[in-house]
Amino acid sequence: MPKAVDHPRRLPRFTPNDSSIVLRIDSPGFSAILGGDLEHLSDPQRGWNAVLSSQHRGPQKANAIKVAHHGSDNGDHPEMWSELLLPSPFAMLTPYSCGRKPLPAESDVERLKSRTNDVYCSVWPSTKSPPKRMSEVRRTIKEVARFHGAMPATVGHIRLRTPIGKSFQPTIDLFDGAVQL
């Protein structure tokens, strides 16, 4: 945002992801970062750069992260892994399959796996081809829907638990198609 002394002609353009927040949950012995849809941008005052330069992020490094922006290549920042997270944290991600470019890509998964051995995904593979339909049905779908595709049969669930105030190893439970990658 512009400073009070600036005289901008207009506010900068914001996308919905620019409004995303990062939530940090701290308890004695455990901390998690929920990355939302935050992106790594070139602007030092926005995205992961702003989080990394913040004076208010707390001294404790996190044990777990919900990877931002569906694990895409701009959903994390290289320094985030060393500055905000303990070595080899639990990394959980939710895929996005409702567009021309499903996320995460195979290269994104490999990048995340190079950062930690504990990468979990709520649904994998994230996409599949829609079922073949009669031409009349396809035409009707195109008339009423801008984009369409097949939804996974189930939406997976990743549950991470740890006793509060104790330094036990957290447990991960996977339900309805969630997997460790």
Please count the other Cβ atoms lying within 10 Å of the Cβ belonging to residue 113: 13
Please count the other Cβ atoms lying within 10 Å of the Cβ belonging to residue 101: 8
User: 35 lies in a domain?
Assistant: yes
- d(CA 45, CA 49) in angstroms, rounded, equals 6
Q: How far is CA 77 from CA 45, 49, 62, 86, 95, in A?
A: 14, 8, 15, 15, 18
Quote the pTM value: 0.79
Number of compact structural domains in the chain: 1
- What residues make up the domain containing 91? 16-180
pLDDT for res 129: 58
User: 87 lies in a domain?
Assistant: yes
pLDDT digits (tens, 9 = 90+) for 68-102: 999 999 899 999 999 999 999 999 999 987 777 88
pLDDT for res 8: 59
Mean pLDDT of the chain: 84
User: 85 lies in a domain?
Assistant: yes
pLDDT for res 149: 65
pLDDT digits (tens, 9 = 90+) for 93-147: 999 877 778 889 999 999 999 999 999 999 887 665 556 778 888 888 888 887 7
User: 168 lies in a domain?
Assistant: yes
User: 62 lies in a domain?
Assistant: yes
Taking residues 54-72, report their average pLDDT.
Answer: 90
- With a cut of 70, say whether residue 12 has pLDDT above it: no
- With a cut of 60, say whether residue 1 has pLDDT above it: no
User: 66 lies in a domain?
Assistant: yes
- Contacts of residue 146, defined as CB under 8 A and 6 or more positions apart, other chains included, come to none
User: 172 lies in a domain?
Assistant: yes
User: 176 lies in a domain?
Assistant: yes
